[in-house]
Structures are given as structure tokens and as C-alpha cells.
Amino acid sequence: MRLPDYFHFSMRVRLIAGYEALERLPELLSDLSCQHPLILTDQNVTEAGLLELVDNVLTRAAVSSACTRMITPADSQAEAVNAAAAAYAAADCDGIIALGGGSVIDMAKGVTLLLSCDPQISDIRAYARHSCSHLTTIPCVAIPTTSGTGSEVTRTAEITDTPGTQMLRFSSETLQCSAALIDPRMSTTLPSVLSASTGMDALSHAFEAYTGLGKNPLSDGLSVQAIELISAHLEQVTTEPADLTARMAMAVGSTMAGQASDNSPPGITHAIAHALSDLCGVHHGSSVSILLPYGLEYNEHKITGELEELARLITGGTSAEDAIAYLRALNEQLSATTEGAHKTRLHDITDQSGAAAVRPEHLPLVARRVLGDPLQFYNPEQFEYQDVLNLLEAAYWGYPLDRTLITQGKR
């Protein structure tokens, strides 16, 4: 283990995990002195019956009638954040329950930011241009319904401005939720293709945290355990979605990967995924699934030892190539399991109309956008425009990365 000269690790979220963790929600609200929470969720979660599960728990504790509920868009849109903050203030709420995936939880963090700073500012987009040096913490309990982003334990939030523009990204330790309830029942209704892509997102957090420049002993331990849990159970949850043992393993693995990534930030894989989301509207989990093997290939000459360690953990292999090959094989297996819905090439990703989401003419624009992402500074190998374009073209068509073209720097 390489011990860094200095590292910073932050984790202030109270975490409760278990097969009936949801039943602890009234107790958590009481501990946080939250008597009138705003429940944020989305339509998919509501239709899956998960809001009803939460309501049942709160009803038994005589809390349900005091809650204000708001159904949000599937993505964390700035206008929806503004509306939720206004609803919170109008109803005189005193805390938030974020029931959903990363977008809903990020939206709750956006509401926290908007309500905790300047009361004269009512648009979250203003904080893309102005700093907020002090936040008055608003109690927030996250109940994740996917096993992917790890947002329930991270200090970051991504808010959608408008399609085709830079997504608003915020980071502050005070944006971490007060508590998180990890209950495997909350993800059993997740469609197989989302189980696959969100699970690969979690796996990418752990891989990039373990191999990135910010790695430290605490993030390493979390990454290794997360990789072990996710690699052992991801295929199972796509074929047997009601398997609570597998769902529990994925939920805990995702949370651990989120903690690891929050304290050892990802690199080129996530930087490119951000640009694809901004410019092409590609679902984050779909892009990182495809890009992760390519990102590791790009960095392989700098992280050979780390990849060899991970290969021994998950495949019994001995080489860095074994770890990368495992990820490619896993993507292929997930594609087969989901009858092709889980994509293995950028070329095959479509938008809601069925048209190609990423076209060849997009790739230069995406490559240029990547060069402005701060995650580049955590990547083991430096990269330039042509490096990113080469990687994108390989991932677009699904052919191996030509490593002889990599710009090898002094990092």
C-alpha cells in the first residue's frame, strides 16, 4: 500500500443499512428534530410503489399527515430545484426526505444549497457564478432506490441547467446528507437495464478511486470491498431483481464506492461521461459502463500494479489486462442479459426518439469539453485533445485503444 504524504477524507453521513432499514425512518426524523419534512421523489419511484412503502412506515408512526410531497422530473432540473425550495418555504418544512436515485438526491442537495445561503437568491443557477461560503444545514435523509451514484454519502450534486449546456456541478462538505437509509427492498423494482448501468457506475467509482491520484488508505479499503461486492452480485440483480441478498450487497457496495470516489475523485472516464451528458444527453451510467475499460487502458502504464491487485481479487488473474478484460466481458454479459438494452459502444446509444444520441461529429466537441473538467487533475496520466478524441473514437466503434498514440507525460 502506498501511503500518501497527505490526504483528506470526509464522511459525515449517518448510515443505517439493513433488510428493514426503512422502519428506522421515524426515529431518524425525530433525532433530527424534523416534524414536517418535504418528501422529494419522482414519478417512476411513485409508480413502483416505493412512496407508498415510505408512507406506510410514516403512517404507523403518526408522521405521514405532517409531510409535504413533491413529484420531481426524472433528472434534477434547475427549475424543479427552485420550485421545490419554494414549496419547502411555503409549507414551513423543517427537513427533506429524498426518495429516489442520484437525481432526486442531488435535487435535495440543491434545495439545501438554495435555502441555506442568501435568502434573496431564488435560482440555483446563481450559485454557478457566486460562491456560498456558509451553509445552514437542513436535515436531509436520503433513501436511495438505485445502486449506482452513491449520492447519499457524497458532497457533490449535479443539477441540469438546460440540455446541451454545461451541467451545474456543486461540491461542499455541507451538502452531504444528514443520514442515509440503505434498504434492499427499495431497488427490487428497478428495471434490469438500469440495474446494469447503475451497477457499472458504482463499479467505475471504485475502480477509478483505487487507481486515481487521490487514492489513500481509507478510499482504497472502501474501493476493494465495493469491487468485491459489486462484481459478485451485479449479474444476479439483473436476472433476479427480487433477490434481496444480492440487492443488499449491491446497495452497500454502491454506498462504499460513493464514499471512496468522493474522497479519491475519478479521472478520464468520468470526465468524458460528464461531457457526453452535457452535450449529448447520454445517461451517466450508460457512458461510464462503456468508457471504463478504455479509461483504464489509457492509464494502464501508470497503474499496472493497482490493476494487477484488482485482477487477483475479481478474476484470480495476475495481469492488468485481466482486470480490463473482465470489465469488457461483464459489459457483454450484461448486454446479453438485458437483450441488448445495455450498450457496449457509444455508437449504439439512442435518445428517447430512437435516434443516435452520439454521432461522429459530436466527438470533437466532447473531446474539447473534457479539457475543461477538473477531474483531469486526478487522472494518473495527463491527456490532451487528441488523446481524448482517440479514446472516444475507439469507444464509439468498439475497437481497442491504440496505446502507442497516448501522450505520456511526467505526472
Region 75-101: mean pLDDT is 92
Given pLDDT bands bounded at 50, 70 and 90, which one contains residue 144? very high
Q: Which amino acid is at 43?
A: Q
> For the whole model, what pTM was predicted?
0.95
Q: State the average pLDDT over residues 381-397.
A: 97
pLDDT category, 198, cuts 50, 70, 90? Answer: very high
The pLDDT-based confidence of 174 (bands split at 50, 70, 90) is confident
* DSSP notation for 335-404: HHHTTT-S-SSGGG-B-TTSSBSS-TTHHHHHHHHHTT-GGGGGSSS---HHHHHHHHHHHHHT----GG
**Spatial contact of 142 and 154, defined as CB atoms under 8 Å apart:** no
pLDDT band at residue 74 using 50, 70 and 90 as cut-offs: confident
Domain ranges of the chain: 14-187, 192-405
Residue 64, phi-psi category: left (phi > 0), alpha (psi -120 to 50), beta (remainder): alpha
For residue 72, what pLDDT is reported?
83
Residue 116 has pLDDT above 60, yes or no: yes
d(CA 290, CA 269): 9
pLDDT of residue 134: 59
pLDDT of residue 161: 84
**Percent above pLDDT 90 for the chain:** 79
269 by DSSP, 3-state: which? helix
pLDDT at site 274: 95
Please give the pLDDT value at position 406.
86
pLDDT for res 132: 59
What pLDDT digit, counting tens, does each position of 209-257 carry? 999 999 999 999 999 999 999 999 999 999 999 999 999 999 999 999 9
- What is the model's pLDDT at position 129? 59
Instruction: List phi, psi (to 5°) of 199.
Output: -65, -40
**What's the rounded Cα separation, in Å, for the pair 308 and 108?**
39
The answer to whether residues 322 and 222 touch, using CB atoms and an 8 Å cutoff, is no
Which residue did the predictor score with more confidence, 40 or 137? Answer: 40
CA 225 to each of CA 80, 88, 131, 231: distance values in angstroms, whole numbers, following the listed order: 36, 38, 36, 10
Average pLDDT over residues 190-207: 97
CATH number of 192-405: 1.20.1090.10
Range of weakest confidence among 122-136, 269-283, 332-346, 375-389: 122-136
To the question of domain 14-187 being in CATH 3.30.750.24, the answer is no
Separation of alpha carbons 271 and 92, rounded Å: 39
> 304-356 pLDDT, tens per residue?
999 999 999 999 999 999 999 999 999 999 999 999 999 999 999 999 899 99
Please tell me the distance from the alpha carbon of residue 399 to that of residue 382, in angstroms, as a whole number: 22
- Position 376 scores a pLDDT of 95
SS3 (DSSP) at 247: helix
**207 within 8 A of 231, measured Cβ to Cβ:** no
Q: Are the beta carbons of 153 and 162 closer than 8 angstroms?
A: no
